[in-house]
Amino acid sequence: MAIKNNYSNADFRDYLYGLFSNEALGEFEDRLFVDPDLAAALDEFEHDLADAYIRREMSETDAQAFEKNYLNSDSRRARVAASRVLHQKLNIGTTDVSAVANDEPVSIWATMQALFATRRLVMTGLAVVITVPLIFLWWMALRPDSNEIVSTVPTPTSENVNTLIDRPEPRNDLQVNENTNATQNSVNASNGTEIPNEANRGPRPETRGDGKSVFAVTLLPSVRSSDRKVIQIPESAKIVAFSAAFENEARYARLLAEVRTGGGTLINRRETAAPKREGSNRYSVSVAAAKLKPGVYELALFGILDDGSRETINYYEFSVAKR
């Protein structure tokens, strides 16, 4: 794959290394949110880049650039470490999912990413057969007594709900990115002592090329649920970036995303041209973390027709807590 959607492998590398200018970064991420093909191409390139580093197929200069510009966050280091475990297991048959180079512990999520992100069917099948039972037993042993987050925020009443939004019954449940796993401890397999797991100390926002700390939240369609989900925003986050999938129709001329408090106060809105491609697409809207105080919020996506009328496409309700 030399070029995908007018972006080359060199462009993908510069994006992952944080070398884009602010203008180029904004344009690329806007396209990334609405173009699943581009997102898939970037994911494939990132996977191949990590493989090349693990297999020592890079020159010394390229390897140094990879370590300096790519391995600059816990989530990325965990991803590469988990990929190394997969390669080692396939090469020498080890079944220790926490034994990695430099004795760095790997989270369950990072290990599963390495197992299921590969596009080699034989490797994936072997990895699933060997590791799924081990991961399940490990998770059962280390899971906390309760994974539920109790919200102390009062539910909004009908008197303070904003009447300007035509609210359908929620069709989507909110799920926070898996990188927000609860804090756990890894057990050193060699001597049985507990050591802190750096990759599992709670959600940590990623730092973009422009230096802004961004906490990503993905809204995923799911079964109906009366439970209001809670987002725990790290104190270090400056921006909270929401993204979600939706079904685009040709009759939509523009898209409008709005984030409001439970009382109806507008926090942020983003209006863009509707994508030309019908069917499954993605949209995004970002909010300054300082504006999201603990409380109840709602996010709605509208499709604007040529005559100026609008229809509700997606609607979410969630609570915010601060770490």
Return left, alpha or beta for 308; rule: phi > 0 is left, psi -120 to 50 is alpha, else beta: left
Mean pLDDT estimate for the chain: 71
Return left, alpha or beta for 279; rule: phi > 0 is left, psi -120 to 50 is alpha, else beta: left
Residues 91-118: pLDDT tens digits? 654 444 333 344 444 455 555 554 444 4
The whole-number pLDDT of residue 92 equals: 56
* pLDDT at residue 11 greater than cutoff 80: yes
The whole-number pLDDT of residue 125 equals: 67
Which of 263, 258, 296, 261 is CA-nearest to residue 159?
A: 263
Structural domains in the chain plus CATH codes: 3-142 (no CATH), 158-175+220-322 (2.60.40.2550)
* pLDDT at residue 301 greater than cutoff 60: yes
Does this model's pTM top 0.85? My answer is no
The whole-number pLDDT of residue 66 equals: 92
* pLDDT at residue 201 greater than cutoff 50: no
Other beta carbons within 10 angstroms of residue 211's beta carbon come to: 9
The residue-averaged pLDDT of 298-305 equals 86
Residues 141-188: pLDDT tens digits? 877 654 444 444 445 544 444 433 445 554 444 444 434 343 344 434
* pLDDT at residue 228 greater than cutoff 70: no
Other beta carbons within 10 angstroms of residue 51's beta carbon come to: 16
pLDDT-based confidence at residue 59 (cuts at 50, 70, 90): very high
The whole-number pLDDT of residue 177 equals: 44
The whole-number pLDDT of residue 111 equals: 52
Q: Is 245 exposed, middle or buried (0-12, 13-18, 19+ CB in 10 A)?
A: middle
HSE of 70 in the Cβ direction (CA atoms, 13 Å)?
22
Query: Over the Cα atoms of the chain, what is R_g?
Result: 21
Residues 114-134: pLDDT tens digits? 444 444 454 666 677 787 888
From CA 271, how far away is CA 255, in angstroms rounded?
A: 6
The whole-number pLDDT of residue 282 equals: 77
Residues 254-264: pLDDT tens digits? 888 898 998 88
